[in-house]
Amino acid sequence: MQRLLTLKRLGSVYGLIEEMHSLEARLAAANVGEVESTIRREVATLDAAWKTERLALPNQDLVGRSAMMVREEVAVRKNRQLAPILEQRCEIRELAQIRYKDSRIWSERMKSLVEAELSKIYTVEEHRQQAVSDDRFLAQKQRKKTRTGRPSR
């Protein structure tokens, strides 16, 4: 019974570790999503700048064209800065997912061990109860035979 209690405590620790790694993986995925979203906004800004710049060409709007060129340059620089951040966050996300999967496997193993130990305990208890019941039955049978005076076989 002490072994079962120890296994249950250990199983709950593994469950908490799994939960912690799950949270870590979700946060890492959210961080990647945040950078990807920022990159998409910058790409949209870049596309808008190109379109506006093309529209400014026939009208010979040099100020508008210059402004869009600056917006384009800013968007390109931001994307260059965000690329290594995205790469780093993707690596962190992958590692977090691996840690989560590993802790999930260990947690499942612990649950399996606890279930196996419980099964053993129930089996031993059933055998013990059956033995007690058998002993009681044999004792009653023996008493009946001694009361009737017949020898037992």
pLDDT in tens, 113-148: 888 988 988 899 899 999 999 889 888 888 888 877
This model's pTM is above 0.85: no
CA separation for the pair 79, 73 (Å, rounded) = 10
Domain ranges in the chain?
2-110
From residue 17, give the alpha-carbon distance in Å to each of 26, 106, 107, 152.
14, 10, 8, 63
CB 107 within 8 A of CB 15: yes
Q: List, in sequence order, the alpha helices (H) in 1-153.
A: 2-56, 62-148
